[in-house]
A and B are shown apart, each in its own frame.
Chain A
Amino acid sequence: MFKMTPTILKNFLTEKATRLYPFEIREPYAHVRGELVNNSETCNFCGICAAKCPSQCIKVDKKSATWECEPFECVYCGICVDACPQESLSQKELYRKPSAERQHIIIKGEIRPEKPDAPVA
């Protein structure tokens, strides 16, 4: 009947299993897949991330150089980060804060002139 008692007594002497969040926050582990960020300076708006995204939350328009993301639809799988040829996409080590309002992230880059066609020999 008292099989649990030693475990309970031990628990008085060990550290707490829970934290007083948000006053006490644990350091995040390295490489945790948190908030998705895109660097507009390095992004060439190729659209590979939009094609690979399993939740289809990314839209890219190369002509107007815009990168759009619906963070509520993102599942934080990190497939786009792995696929990005420019290494422009990255994930922070902290999760996105909860929000009551729908957010829509739009990143506008510099419209680059299209490369001229190679001269016909």
Chain B
Amino acid sequence: MSTATQDAIVLDKVNKWFGQLHVLRDVTLNVAQKEKVVVCGPSGSGKSTLIRCINRLETHQEGKIFVDGTELTDDTRALDTIRSEVGMVFQSFNLFPHLTILENCTLAPIWVRKMPKAEAEALAMEFLTRVKIPEQAKKYPGQLSGGQQQRVAIARALCMRPKIMLFDEPTSALDPEMIKEVLDTMIELAESGMTMVCVTHEMGFARQVADRVVFMDQGEVVESGTPTRMFEDPQTDRLKLFLSQILRGH
């Protein structure tokens, strides 16, 4: 298997149950290197569960998941290696409140990549500058606004220099005026060539940045295609219904 052309993420007939509830049904999805995929769908469709299976925050019961060529199993050491190559940004930011912004960003490089502290701090400042908040480095997360916290979360994930970035509804918990600053950061990241899988309701972002939009409903992938095709020429009734609800006023 040549490493240059293998897909970044491969999901092969993935099934997951929460007890009796079947939340992922035969999901098959490939994400190529440098591809940007937006996953959308109504609430309860399994899109968050899907993305959390990719870095094994949730475990799948059937099917296979390959991240960067390696299969996701219960092997903890391989798992930690995979997770250090996959960055994740959460809806509720999940910054570490007992550490400063700088320490939040340098923690993983120092303790996982064994980087010396000075080098890690320089790296962190580089990414904090890239998300446009270098002056907040010595503050604590509780002192920042939501938009700033989310940008720190993005910088923290980027400090591990991941190959893939996962976004789980990154702007859903933000006030409207802060959504733009986070989306701008994500657009800049996309344009720099990062492989991204993003669960979001921001269809404007999808139109601008996504190579492919995947629509999920009740645990299965219903339709997928380019943003233009999906929004202007939806094939299935379920997608038509979803679009009518979400694009009301767009």
Bound pair: A and B? no
